Amino acid sequence: QVAAVAARDLGRAQDFAQRFGIPRAYGSYEELAEDPDLDVVYVGVVNPAHLPVGLLFLRRGRAVLMEKPMGLGACEVAQLVGTARERGVFLMEGFWTRFFPAWRRLRALVSEGTLGSPLVLRGALGFALGGVPRLREPGLGGGVLLDLGGYGLQMALALLGGGPPPSLQAHGVLHETGVDESVSVTLKFPGKGLAVLTFSMAAELPGGAAVGGPHGWAELPSHMNCPTELLFGGRRELFPLPPPSERLNFPHSTGLRYEAQHVRECLLQGLTESPEMPLAESEVIARLLDEARAQVGV
């Protein structure tokens, strides 16, 4: 149940609350942090505000689901993680991908050894996002790696695993504002695992990903960040989403319910971090994003 909403502008918060039947609206995040009836806060502010807003809620003892990227870099993520652990408060980075049934099916095929040892992951995610001005603004944490790159990196860590990759190489094209526009990242993992990932905020791409081993391969043919189908063993397995009750701004948005349900289950169990999206993994993703951005010249 959505109990309250906050924005920097009270009028915007009130409009949102009225549209969706939310009981309370606040014109500051400090007011929201003081609301005694909240179990968890979803933070979806612009990227540079993740750190200060996240710290505000964590220091008030509020459980936080932080939209990805958790911070603008590894230093910010370490501050958020350290504060959550120090205060004993739940914190999770919002990689909704990990809770889609299609993703869980793919991860099970890999972890059960159905494909043999996973050796190669290839994936691409690209959208023509010229209509999203913040992505072109360095001061707003723009660039394709912070916006889309984490999806591929979290997938590589989960499927090829065994620890952080000792080698990362990135090549990219920058937008005229200096942010990364299109980037290809290659990761070498312990045990011969190799991931080759491409991201673009200028070009449309199919958005699929596939992982292979000596005994076979499995593929998410599209929407690697929010998949609803899987190809394996010559069959197409479908994982339909519940129909939306509102007009959607982004494909498959009703799949956000899986992430929300997982957070609820964690809180009911008294956990301070998710076993499926642990904080240590968010820290690794942040370090990899830092390295990739540096290599392409951001």
Residues 6+ apart with CB under 8 A from 37: 3, 4
The answer to whether 201 and 119 have CB atoms below 8 angstroms apart is no
Q: What is the pLDDT of residue 191?
A: 87
Q: What is the pLDDT of residue 79?
A: 98
Q: What is the pLDDT of residue 163?
A: 82
Paired tokens of 240: 């339909």
What is the C-alpha to C-alpha distance for residues 9 and 169, in angstroms, rounded to an integer?
Answer: 42
- Domains, the chain, in order of start with CATH, read 97-251 (3.30.360.10)
Condensed to tens digits (0 to 9), the pLDDT of residues 132-148 reads: 999 999 999 999 999 99
HEC assignment per residue over 20-64? HCCCEEECCHHHHHHCCCCCEEEECCCHHHHHHHHHHHHHCCCEE
Indicate if the alpha-carbon torsion angle 172, 175, 181, 187 is positive or negative: positive
Q: What is the pLDDT of residue 4?
A: 98
Q: What is the pLDDT of residue 162?
A: 73
Condensed to tens digits (0 to 9), the pLDDT of residues 38-83 reads: 999 999 999 999 999 999 999 999 999 999 999 999 999 999 999 9
Condensed to tens digits (0 to 9), the pLDDT of residues 112-132 reads: 999 999 999 999 999 999 999
**Low-confidence residues of the chain: pLDDT under 70:** none
Q: What is the pLDDT of residue 77?
A: 98
